[in-house]
Amino acid sequence: MANKDYYSILGIDKSAGQDEIRSAFRKLAIKYHPDKNKGDKTSEEKFKEINEAYQVLSDPQKKSNYDQFGTSEFDGGPQGAQGFGGFGGFDSDFGGFGDIFDSIFGGAGRGTRSRRSQAEPGADLEYNLILTFEEAVFGCAKEVSINRNEKCETCNGTGAKKGTSPKTCDKCGGAGQIRVQRQTPLGTMSTVAVCDKCHGTGKIIDEPCSTCHGTGKERKHRKIKINVPAGVDTGNVIPLRGQGEHGTNGGQSGDLYINIRVSSHPKFKRNGFDISFDTHISFGMAVMGAEISVDTVDGPVKYTIPEGTQSGTVFRLRGKGVPRVNSSGRGDQYVKVIVDVPKKLNEKQREALKNFMKISGEDVSDYKESFKDKFKSSFK
């Protein structure tokens, strides 16, 4: 573990507090968790590295040792130095190695300190929730389905057959670990290993539960109701505390994170809490002005287009945008006016337009007649 920059691994500064350390670990653990990256060895190694860094930085004593000596298992005290330099009673239970190896490898291996008998929190879960444009704007009630590990109902999480209970391991006394001493050229070396009888649990189950087979957990399918607040958008996350997987040995449950994804709308476009909308008007309406009907998320509203409105002009409808999440007020709707220029004119429309141009002082001598007009003129 020496020479590893745990702060860099978690992407935090050395001044980070425990809340920031915990938050960074959870975010990375979710991203690189083996269950989400099955078969990806790179993610698996990254997950182990993240776990290792968290086990050190989340423990005040280990963090202090690491900050001072660059490792968490060296206590830096005079007694430790004397034991090594004078070949005395070198007590080496390897400090934080056991906790780290247990969380990564399940407590296997020599020199580890088992944590299986300790309370551990459950894993966090994620769910991607797709909403329509209207559901995101006004909020809605949703129901999601998840699968999670819960405390076995048959044995109440003990892992033992109904009517029986686990027994305290007589080899480790329920500690889940045993101390082994060996004579070495350096003196007596004491190491801590996982109890080979209870495999680190501290308990012996003579008759395992038929439902969970001694694990104390079972897979359950659950439907959870969610109240989505008005104004959410793609990228927002709704945390549901305690709705993740159940903890072990009385540990608190993990959280369920709802990742919001909003579908696009055929008419409206969203920019933060504002909405943009394009509306088309005729050439005559643009010139003379008119009262038009404009679609909004609340329904159509009347709006007066002033005379001489140019194509591309944008008007604002105050308070017709998206409600601000967990706050008062709404954004605005911006309406872009597009003037439709007719592609074809009949004879009366053409003559009227020529007269308009003449009255406006425009030269229409170069006006090109259509083939149909020329054909009619040849018979006059």
Give 370 or 269, the one with higher predicted confidence. 269
Q: Which CATH superfamily is domain 269-340 in?
A: Urease metallochaperone UreE, N-terminal domain (2.60.260.20)
Which is higher by pLDDT, 95 or 58?
58
Question: Which tops the pLDDT comparison, 287 or 117?
Answer: 287
Q: Which amino acid belongs to residue 218?
A: E
- Quick check: 262 pLDDT over 60? yes
What single DSSP character describes residue 239? E
Every domain of the chain and the residues it spans: 1-74, 77-113+167-204, 123-152+210-264, 269-340, 347-377
Query: Strand, coil or helix: what is 36?
Result: coil
Joined tokens for residue 267: 């008419």
Per-residue pLDDT of 209-244, as tens digits, reads 999 988 889 999 999 999 999 999 999 999 999 999
CATH number of 1-74: 1.10.287.110
CA distance 262 to 228: 12
- Residue-wise pLDDT tens digits, 307-326: 999 999 999 999 999 999 98
Query: Mean pLDDT in the chain?
Result: 82
Q: What was the pLDDT predicted at 374? A: 52
Q: What is the dihedral of CA 285, 291, 296, 301, to 10 degrees?
A: -170
Q: Do domains 123-152+210-264 and 269-340 have the same CATH topology?
A: yes
> pLDDT tens digit string along 122-162?
899 999 999 999 999 999 999 999 999 999 999 988 889 98
pLDDT of residue 233: 95
**Residue scoring higher pLDDT (168 or 95):** 168
- Write the CA distances from 52 to 13, 24, 97, integer angstroms: 17, 13, 9
Please report the pLDDT score of residue 175 as a whole number.
Answer: 84
Grade residue 193 by pLDDT with cuts at 50, 70 and 90.
confident
pLDDT band at 3 (very low <50, low <70, confident <90, very high): low
**Residue 111 confidence class, pLDDT cut points 50, 70, 90:** very low
Answer whether residue 30 shows pLDDT above 80.
yes
- 87 band by pLDDT with thresholds 50, 70 and 90: very low
The residue to which tokens 């643009």 are assigned: 286
Query: Rounded to the nearest 5°, which phi and psi values hold at 375?
Result: -65, -40
CA dihedral 143, 146, 152, 156 (to 10 degrees): -40
Reported as a single tens digit per residue, the pLDDT across 60-83 is 888 887 877 666 554 443 333 333
Q: What percent of the chain has pLDDT over 70?
A: 81
- Greatest mean pLDDT among 2-16, 316-330, 366-380 lies in 316-330
Is there a contact between 65 and 2 (Cβ–Cβ < 8 Å)? no
- Judged against a pLDDT cut of 60, whether residue 273 lies above it is answered with yes
Q: In CATH, what number does 123-152+210-264 get? A: 2.60.260.20
Mean pLDDT comparison of 26-35, 98-107, 129-138, 183-192, highest-scoring range: 129-138
